[in-house]
Amino acid sequence: MEEKILDFIMEYAQENENVPFQVIEETFNIQMDESLRSIISDAIWDRDNVSDVVIENEGYVISCFED
C-alpha cells in the first residue's frame, strides 16, 4: 500500500508541483496526521529523481530532477 501511495504522489507531482494532502486522503481513504506526513516525506526523499520535498500546510511541494 505504501508503494502505491508513493507512486501516486510522484505521478501527481510530475503534472503539478504541489500535491495536496486532501487529494491523497480522498484517493486512499486515509487521514494524514503530522507523523504520517513526515514518514511519507522521508520516503519521497528516497526516490532517485527527487531534488526537494517541502511539507506545507496543505500539501507537499516536490521538485524533481530533469531527465
Q: What CATH code is carried by the domain that includes residue 58? A: 1.10.10
Q: How far is CA 54 from CA 6, 13, 29, 47, 49, in A?
A: 15, 12, 23, 14, 15
What range does the domain containing 53 cover? 2-64
The pLDDT of residue 66: 73
C-alpha cell at 56: 506545507
- Confidence tier at 21 by pLDDT (50, 70, 90): very high
Mean pLDDT of the 12-24 span: 93
Neighbours of 50 (CB within 10 A): 16
Q: What is the pTM of this model?
A: 0.86
Strands 50-55 and 18-20, bridge-based pairing: unpaired
Closest C-alpha to 66, from 48, 44, 53: 48
Q: How many domains does the chain have?
A: 1
